[in-house]
Structure 1
Amino acid sequence: MTMLDDAKQKLRGSIAPIVTPFHHDYTIDFSSFENLIDWHIDSGTHAISVTGTTGEPSSLTIEERVRVMETAKKKINGRVPFAPGTGSTNHQETLYLTKTAQEMGADAALVIVPYYNKPSQHALYKHFKAVADSVDIPIIVYNIPGRTATNLHVDTLARLSEDCPNIIGVKESNKDFEHVNRVLLKCGRDFLLYSGIELLCYPMLAIGGAGHISATANVVPKKIADLYNTWKAGEIDKALDLHFDLMELNDVLFKDTNPAPLKAALGMMGKIEPVLRMPMDLPTQELQNEIRDILKQHVALSDEITTN
């Protein structure tokens, strides 16, 4: 079995995109970060990603991103696969971070469509091909048009998957379900398709998806892992029940820009100090109250929940 075949087998299920905790002075809280990693692994999370959208990478310096990646890799210590986010709006930064991920032994790199620049499809092809050609590790493309203002077309992705053997999958934070169906049609059904839209995690499994990279895993990692586990085990009714059980929580966690509601929720659970770096900030008190009410329905021990 080749390295890429092995990765295609291992990188399935719930890949949790973990937040980057900060102290109140805005320095990175590495102690809480490491505790989150242990909690995720103990909860059954199948793989871990850091410095993706949920990890506030645009609020981190390049040096901080590398340190977060290194800390995660060391703490995970091979217990689950590790796929850090290495993309940037800057091509050279993306190359540097992706090469750094390979050097530290990451199992794959999650590379976002460059944001703000709005490159053409031809330019996106050149960007991702250059990144893939620069490393040997698997690449998971990250398409999130709501954040990047650019949608990676299915034909472009199919061309990349054909020309770059180490581009093995895509995280589609794309509400266009016709688009994600065509990804597997054009790229092949062994191409790894992950949902980045919480309400599409179950539907994507139903069409042959490899799993999900769901922000909601930050607060209920076991339930998000079990959504995949029950589906994989053929327990369709249980998977469907989980899908609907999670819907209200998924909705409230995206009533403000991710990861602001997540960090508020994790603060209520005593997992982190609920701090974001500006220009991001916590949700309004009204929304925090709503998050608290819904969170109580999902967190087993209600006394874990604290006020902010």
Structure 2
Amino acid sequence: MSGNYEDIKTRLRGSIAPVVTPFKKNHDVDYEKLSELIEFQLENGSHAISVTGTSGEPSSLTVEEREKVMETTIKTVNGRVPVAPGTGSTNHAETLRLTKSAQEMGADAALVIVPYYNKPNQEALFKHFKTVADSVDIPIIVYNIPGRTAQNLEVKTLARLNEACPNIVGVKESNKDFEHVNRVLLNCGRDFLLYSGIELLCYPMLAIGGAGSISATANVLPGKIARLHDAWFEGDVETAQSLHYELMPLNDVLFKDTNPAPVKAALGMMGKIEPELRLPMDVPSRALQDEIRETLKQYGVTAQYA
């Protein structure tokens, strides 16, 4: 691929909200609620939208459902901000299909996760991502989340991909190893787009030259997450720091069970969705739901029993 990706690299900065996939009580995907959630994000200043990433429960969706979620999102956003859906899978052919579908539907970029469960070696990861990148013209953001995939994409492998594939423009690092994320920009260049997928590292990653974050907390308080990024890029370090610490209690409680169960519980309490998940995922314990409710009240959010 030999396209010019500078424009989208400029636009894909700030808070990329990873919107959950809402289900009805019968566990069908609720596409109407999905559109409402996206409007909620846009009204509150989110800089871009992602769906069918970790927060969107992609492993609980069929390929056809994932494609319809992407299509609904792109139509709802209608060009107002960039859309970067998650198109990765543990299956290589599915990843190719979904990434090509995202391009055909008009997505601005694709977020492609390290294949989970398989634990491919570094050479296999290089071949996987290069094949995906070579199959499309849209920018690719690699998604490294070793806690879920059981495999870490090493910096040297990412640097090889960056050199070999002009449309691999960035990485979402859900990696608590802050040394690792520093070395990403050292080895891939300061113009490589580095996004935090760890909530407590959203602000620190901006400080080392990051492009933004893809934070599940943006589902609940999108305005504050967007404002943190706006403040940083405006040079208002004090406000960005203050929001970083202000958000910590919410970030903590939303990850006391597996994402997106606590996030969906919070959105249910806010009256945004039915807090349904598909098995093998399930709702948080009643004790954690009570804690989420009390935490939301600290932020002035009226939380009811879902």
TM-score by length of 1: 0.98
Q: How does 1:133-172 map to 2 (within 5 A)?
A: 133-172=134-173
Query: Is the contact between residue 52 and residue 69 of structure 2 (CA under 8 Å) also seen in structure 1?
Result: yes
Structure 1 residue 51: Cα displacement: 0.3
1:37-66 deviation line (CA, Å, top 9, x unaligned): 011001000000000000000000000000
Partners of 1:29 and 1:123 in 2: how far apart?
36
Aligned residue number for residue 306 of structure 1: 304
The code of the aligned residue for 1:135 comes to V
What aligned pairs does 1:61-100 form with structure 2 within 5 A after superposition? 61-100=62-101
Query: 2:27 and 2:228 mapped to 1: Cα distance?
Result: 34
CA distance in 2, matches of 1:142, 1:192: 12
Alpha-carbon shift at residue 30 of structure 1 (Å): 1.1
CA separation in 1, counterparts of 2:265 and 2:103? 33
Alignment-derived partner of residue 17 in structure 1: 18
- Aligned match of 2:233: 232
Distance 2:298 2:261 in 1: 20
Write out per-residue CA displacement over residues 92-138 of structure 1, whole angstroms, 9 at most, x where no aligned residue: 00000000000011000000000000000000000000000000100
Instruction: Give RMSD over aligned pairs.
Output: 0.7
2:257 paired with 1:245: no
Aligned equivalents of 1:124, 1:134: Cα separation in 2: 16
CA deviation digits over 1:128-164, x for unaligned, max 9?
0000000010000000000000000000000000000
Unaligned runs of 5+ in 1: none
Match of 2:294 in 1: 293
Q: Which amino acid aligns with 1:278?
A: L
- Confirm or deny that 1:269 pairs with 2:270: yes
- Indicate whether 1:101 and 2:102 are aligned: yes
Distance 1:76 1:202 in 2: 26
User: What's the CA shift string for 1:74-109, capped at 9, x where partnerless?
Assistant: 000001100000000000000000000000110000
Query: Who is 1:257 aligned against?
Result: 258
Is it true that 1:210 corresponds to 2:243 in the alignment? no
Contact conserved, 2:84 with 2:107, CA < 8 A, in 1?
Answer: yes
Q: Percent identity?
A: 72
| 1:290 counterpart SS class | helix
Deviations 1:201-231 (A, max 9, x none): 0000000000000000000000011110011
Deviation at 1:3, TM superposition (A): 3.9
Distance of 1:100 and 1:3 partners within structure 2: 21
- Cα distance in 2 for partners of 1:306, 1:79 equals 32
Q: How many residues align?
A: 304
CA displacement 1:183-217 (0-9 Å, x = unmatched): 00000000000000000000000000000000000
Return the TM-score normalized by structure 2.
Answer: 0.98
1 CA distance for matches of 2:253 and 2:146?
21
Matched, 1:128 2:129: yes
Instruction: Return the letter of the residue paired with 1:225.
Output: A
Displacement after TM superposition at 1:306 (Å):
1.5
Gaps of 5+ in 2: none
**AA of the residue aligned to 1:203:** P
Partners of 2:94 and 2:301 in 1: CA distance? 42
Report whether the alignment pairs 1:115 with 2:113: no
**AA paired with 1:181?**
N
Q: For 1:239-293, what per-residue CA distance to the aligned partner results, in whole angstroms no more than 9, with x for missing partners? A: 0000000001000000000000000000000000010000000100000000000
Residue 283 of structure 2: aligned partner = 282
